[in-house]
């Protein structure tokens, strides 16, 4: 992971999943706010397809984790001929998130030996593993390198806290959004580490041994926090508008159908003979019998 790509890849992973989960959480809440429940399984929008009934995001998570393990082993074997300690730590992180995806799928299918809520325990374990690996991953590094990674450790700690709160308050959308917010910050900060410590060719390198850059790194981290919050506000507004438009269109169609049904019933009643005092209306045979003048008897 000690390359630009090695940090950008997990950053892309966290950003993509955070945005996807956020959109699905907001959509589910705006559609049915009273029935909203947090979940680590967010389903595809195409409910009529076979994938609409499957936790596709966790299948993708398992694939990415397996790919990450393979890449860590392959790159280390090519460069060093053996899987070095740094790569071992990174592939351990991928394995823990892959297990979280697998357990989430088992919970979705209600496998008997996996209790409900085990997916949150698996996610907590994955995040704790990540935190421990990065917290003790900094021996002998420059001050800016240590500081920028410690800010990542604090962010992972925030992910752990918000995940635990979400598990305790399953019907709170704020708890679910808080977890996604911290995951998004973690993803963007991985990109910041990539550009700070491993800048692509043509970009100037940071003075990682200059203590004054610590203040600049902290300021940039604050910008990440503010920027991710603004992203959430924009996503929330756009999702609300889309859901309101769809619900308004659905209500309009239902009203039109009801109106047409009412007109049809009225037309049916108009075409049928109207009843008057239990007899048919004008023009019927019953009315002729009712109002006809009795004939005088021939015996009178």
219-256 tens-digit pLDDT:
999 999 999 999 999 999 999 999 888 766 555 555 45
Average pLDDT over residues 144-169: 95
**What is the reported pLDDT for 137?**
78
- Per-residue pLDDT for 159 more than 80? yes
pTM of the predicted model over 0.85: no
Q: Where are the domains of the chain?
A: 4-250
Residue 209 corresponds to which tokens in the numbers above?
A: 């041994």
Q: How far apart are CA 90 and CA 87, in angstroms?
A: 5
User: Nearest-CA neighbor of 29 among 233, 183, 240, 231?
Assistant: 240
**What is the reported pLDDT for 180?**
96
Nearest 5 degrees, angle CA 287-CA 292-CA 295? 150
User: Nearest-CA neighbor of 176 among 40, 14, 11?
Assistant: 40
Selected residue with higher pLDDT from 52 and 31: 31
Beta carbons within 8 Å of 84's beta carbon, 6+ residues apart: 76
**What is the reported pLDDT for 291?**
46
Q: How many residues does the chain have?
A: 300
- Per-residue pLDDT for 300 more than 50? no
Average pLDDT over residues 71-83: 81
Mean pLDDT rounded to a whole number for the chain: 82
- Per-residue pLDDT for 281 more than 60? no
- Per-residue pLDDT for 147 more than 70? yes
- Residue 65's SS3 state is helix
pLDDT in tens, 62-73: 999 999 899 888
Beta carbons within 8 Å of 220's beta carbon, 6+ residues apart: 192
Selected residue with higher pLDDT from 212 and 106: 106
Selected residue with higher pLDDT from 288 and 267: 267
Selected residue with higher pLDDT from 56 and 252: 56
Least confident of 107-116, 245-254, 290-299: 290-299
- Per-residue pLDDT for 176 more than 80? yes
């Amino acid at each position: 992971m000690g390359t630009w790509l090695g940090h950008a890849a997990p950053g892309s992973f966290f950003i993509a999943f955070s945005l996807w989960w956020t959109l699905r959480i907001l959509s589910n809440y705006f559609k049915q706010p009273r029935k909203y429940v947090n979940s680590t399984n967010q389903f595809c929008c195409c409910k009529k397809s076979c994938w609409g009934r499957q936790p596709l995001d966790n299948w993708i998570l398992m694939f990415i984790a397996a790919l990450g393990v393979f890449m860590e082993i392959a790159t280390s074997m090519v460069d060093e001929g053996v899987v070095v300690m740094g790569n071992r730590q990174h592939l351990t992180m991928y394995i823990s998130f892959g297990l979280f995806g697998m357990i989430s799928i088992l919970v979705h299918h209600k496998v008997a030996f996996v209790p409900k809520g085990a997916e949150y325990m698996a996610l907590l374990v994955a995040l704790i593993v990540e935190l421990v690996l990065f917290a003790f991953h900094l021996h002998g590094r420059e001050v800016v390198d240590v500081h920028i990674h410690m800010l990542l450790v604090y962010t992972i700690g925030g992910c752990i806290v918000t995940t635990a709160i979400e598990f305790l308050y399953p019907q709170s959308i704020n708890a679910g959004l808080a977890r996604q917010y911290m995951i998004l910050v973690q993803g963007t900060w991985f990109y910041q580490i990539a550009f700070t410590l491993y800048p692509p060719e043509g970009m100037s390198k940071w003075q990682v041994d200059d203590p004054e850059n610590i203040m600049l790194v902290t300021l940039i981290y604050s910008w990440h926090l503010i920027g991710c919050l603004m992203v959430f506000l924009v996503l929330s507004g756009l999702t609300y508008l889309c859901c309101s438009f769809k619900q308004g269109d659905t209500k309009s169609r239902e009203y039109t159908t009801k109106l047409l049904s009412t007109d049809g019933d009225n037309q049916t009643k108009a075409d049928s003979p109207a009843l008057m005092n239990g007899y048919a209306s004008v023009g019927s045979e019953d009315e002729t019998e009712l109002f006809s003048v009795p004939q005088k008897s021939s015996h009178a």
